[in-house]
């Protein structure tokens, strides 16, 4: 997809495109790391469920649209059936009420592990998602995970490739430094060393 903007394609931020891009990027990061990490380290792709619910301007909404196709069961027909064209309908069909289960979004991230230390986590690589950058349960879950990793002996690399939403910077001094940059950065890659 071509873009009138330099750098990353801003259309990737669309809610229906981002999940595919996010998963693909995480897979590529894992593949590249596994081809270049020194032994005994290895990278693996992990998934965490996200609900995709965000709270904005006093409203709660789902960030990734759901689509469901429902069909009424059709009676079996014999091979000798013939279709007959009838007059167009002039009445509205009966409505069908259904409950559609909301599927969780699979949030991909990459872990670098050390098998010589019982497969200990060495580095966690997170690709920030749209629902991480907006108020709601996914942001709270991300911040909890961020705190756990920052308080551990593992490194945390955060890739924020989304221009919209609130940054997830745990360091207040860094927040102030980035806020004072002119122009402010569109994308941030943050390396938090253990």
DSSP the chain: ---SSSSS-GGGGSTTTHHHHHHHHHHHHHHHHHHHPPTT-EEEEEEEEE--EEEETTEEEESS-------PPPPP--TT------PPP-SPPPP----PPPPPEEEEEEEEEEGGGTSEEEEEEEE--GGGSSSSHHHHHHHHHHHHHHTTTSEEEEEE--SSS------HHHHHHHHT-SSPPS-EEEEE--
CB-based contact 15:64 (threshold 8 Å): yes
- Using pLDDT thresholds of 50, 70 and 90, give the confidence band for residue 50: confident
Query: Which residue matches tokens 């007059």?
Result: 87
Tokens of 156: 């945390």
**Could you report how far apart the first and last alpha carbons of the chain are, in Å?**
38
- Residue with the larger pLDDT of the pair 164 and 115: 115
Which pLDDT band holds residue 7 (cuts at 50, 70, 90)? Answer: low
pLDDT reported for residue 99: 66
Token code pair at residue 193: 């060393």
Could you tell me the pLDDT band of residue 128, with boundaries at 50, 70 and 90?
very high
What is the rounded CA–CA span in Å between residue 139 and residue 158? 14
Phi–psi pair at 163, nearest 5 degrees: -80, -25
At 154 the pLDDT is: 97
Q: pLDDT confidence of 46, banded at 50, 70, 90?
A: very high
Q: Does the pLDDT of residue 121 top 50, yes or no? A: yes
């Amino acid at each position: 997809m071509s873009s009138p903007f330099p750098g990353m394609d801003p259309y990737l931020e669309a809610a229906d495109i981002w999940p595919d891009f996010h998963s693909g990027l995480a897979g590529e990061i894992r593949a590249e790391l596994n081809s270049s990490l020194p032994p005994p380290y290895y990278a693996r792709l992990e998934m965490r469920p996200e609900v995709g619910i965000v709270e904005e301007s006093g409203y709660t909404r789902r960030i990734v649209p759901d689509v469901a196709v429902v069909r009424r069961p059709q009676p079996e027909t014999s091979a000798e059936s013939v279709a007959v064209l009838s007059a167009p309908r002039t009445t509205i069909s009966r409505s069908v009420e259904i409950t559609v289960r909301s599927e969780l979004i699979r949030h991909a991230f990459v872990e670098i592990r050390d098998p010589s230390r019982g497969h200990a986590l060495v580095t966690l690589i997170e690709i920030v998602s749209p629902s991480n950058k907006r108020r709601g349960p996914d942001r709270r879950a991300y911040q909890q995970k961020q705190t756990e990793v920052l308080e551990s002996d593992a490194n945390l690399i955060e890739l924020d490739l989304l221009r919209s939403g609130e940054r997830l910077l745990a360091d207040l001094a860094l927040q102030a430094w980035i806020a004072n940059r002119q122009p402010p950065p569109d994308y941030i890659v943050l390396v938090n060393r253990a």
